[in-house]
Amino acid sequence: MNLRDRWRSTSENILIPIGAVLASLVVFGIFCAVQGKNPIAIYGTIYQSAFGNSFSWQGTLIRAAPLMLTSLCTALPAMLGLTIIGNEGALIVGGLGAIAMGLALSSLPPIMVQIAMAMAGLIAGGLWIMFVGAIKYYRGVNETISSLLMNYIAIAVLNTLVEGPMRDPSSLNKPSSFPLAAVNMLQSIPNSRVHYGLIYGLVACAIAYFLIHRTTFGFAVRTVGGNIRAAKIAGLPVGKLTLIVTFLGGSCAGLAGMVEIAAIHGSANASLNADYGYSGILVAFIARQNPLVAVLVAVLMGGILASGSALQRSFGLPDATVLLFQGIVFLAILFSESLYGRLDFFKDREPEVKIDASATVV
């Protein structure tokens, strides 16, 4: 690929998503105008409350942290050609594992508790999604559907545990588990209200990118994703790769559960089921399964989520406005997927035509 082609493909990768976001801004703007609200003012508020100052940036980053982690639960298995949507379930069991560990070991030094909680989250979430990978490989069960079903099973397990065996009798209106000791909570980064979960998310995305794009393991995984039959002929251990990659994906979502429990909620309860899992799926798709791009998309999405209450306060719009905005942005970006490689603007014309002509003569 020469420099010019590379420039074209890079500009395509940048301009198409930007175009999609602009298109969705126009559509949502028209919608707001029809509702009698000034779209420019609304966008100003969204921007202000998401990225306007350091306080709003912090709120955005707090929401972006779990999204980075849950998006990997879809992005990593996608390298193998698997469409996993069990992120929510993996997040919940990861959170449950973490709180169980945090409560059981509460007498140890905080750093040990932290590590044990993170490990418990990783392992619980990892095994949860590895089960999906296992039944896909050994029984041929569709991974999209089995992981979807397992989300509901995880929610039921969460509700059963926090209302039964794990319940703190003093939590009356909202059944919760016993709370974590304050010293064992995930601390904030100095001089901010952003917790260290953000670092977990950034590191996980960086590792995932390195693993997939810079190692032999990643190459093997991408080969299986590209053509499973060729991979088998080449002697790649498809089953083993499936188990490892689904475990890694699930463990990231499980870690997101640990982060939410240890940094935000402090105990397990129904709030753990806050749709970060489902949003993570979209982050992964929008980032086109690239873990580094997922970081950016997660921040953008965290910003949109963070602006919800401001829209309600300033414009008297329902808080669902943000949901609607999110939906429009996603649909526009998904549509833009189909434009890659099809717009004349990004095509290199002269050399290709000549090669085609000589090929037909031969």
Partner 1 sequence: MTDDTLGWMSVPLAIVAGTFRGSAPFLFVSLGECLTEKAGKINLGLEGTLLTGAMTAYAVSYLTKSPWLGVLAAGLAGVGLGLIHAWLSQRPRVSDVAVGIAMIIFGSGIAFFFGKAFIQPKAIPLPVFELGNWSSYPQVQDALKISPLLLIGIVIAPVMQWFFSSTRWGLYVRAVGDSPSAARAMGISVVGVRTGAIVAGSFLAGIGGASLSLYYPGLWSERISSGQGLMAVALVIFARWQPIHCLWAALLFGGAQAIGPSLQAVGISSYRYLFNAAPYIMTLIITIATCSPRRTLSGSPGALGTNE
> Which residues are at the interface with partner 1 (CB under 8 A)?
83, 85, 135, 137-142, 144-146, 148-150, 152-153, 155-157, 159-160, 163-164, 278, 281-282, 285, 318-321, 323-328, 330-331, 334-335, 337-338, 340, 342
CA distance 309 to 67: 19
Q: Among residues 34 and 111, whose Cβ is nearest to partner 1?
A: 34
Q: Which of 348, 333, 300 is nearest to 68 (CA)?
A: 300
Burial of 52 (0-12, 13-18, 19+ CB in 10 A): middle
Q: Among residues 221 and 317, whose Cβ is nearest to partner 1?
A: 317
Q: Among residues 251 and 336, whose Cβ is nearest to partner 1?
A: 336
Q: Which of 266, 336, 263, 276 is nearest to 151 (CA)?
A: 276
Buried b (16+ CB within 10 A) or exposed e, 205-232: beebbebbeeeeebebbebbbeeeeebe
Least separation in angstroms between residue 107's CB and partner 1 is 30
Tokens of 216: 């032999």
Contacts of 140 (CB under 8 A, 6+ apart): none
For 173, list phi and psi in degrees, rounded to 5.
-70, -40
Q: Among residues 13 and 192, whose Cβ is nearest to partner 1?
A: 13
Q: Which of 139, 137, 150, 122 is nearest to 82 (CA)?
A: 137
Least separation in angstroms between residue 146's CB and partner 1 is 6
Helices of type H across 39-142: 39-47, 54-78, 87-104, 110-139
Q: Among residues 42 and 113, whose Cβ is nearest to partner 1?
A: 42
Least separation in angstroms between residue 360's CB and partner 1 is 25
The H or E element spanning position 168 is none
CA distance 275 to 196: 21
Least separation in angstroms between residue 164's CB and partner 1 is 6
Cβ 294 vs Cβ 283: under 8 Å: yes
Burial of 279 (0-12, 13-18, 19+ CB in 10 A): buried
Least separation in angstroms between residue 150's CB and partner 1 is 7
Q: Which of 49, 22, 20, 30 is nearest to 319 (CA)?
A: 49
Q: Among residues 58 and 267, whose Cβ is nearest to partner 1?
A: 267
Q: Among residues 189 and 328, whose Cβ is nearest to partner 1?
A: 328
Least separation in angstroms between residue 145's CB and partner 1 is 6
Q: Among residues 183 and 230, whose Cβ is nearest to partner 1?
A: 230
Q: Among residues 157 and 189, whose Cβ is nearest to partner 1?
A: 157
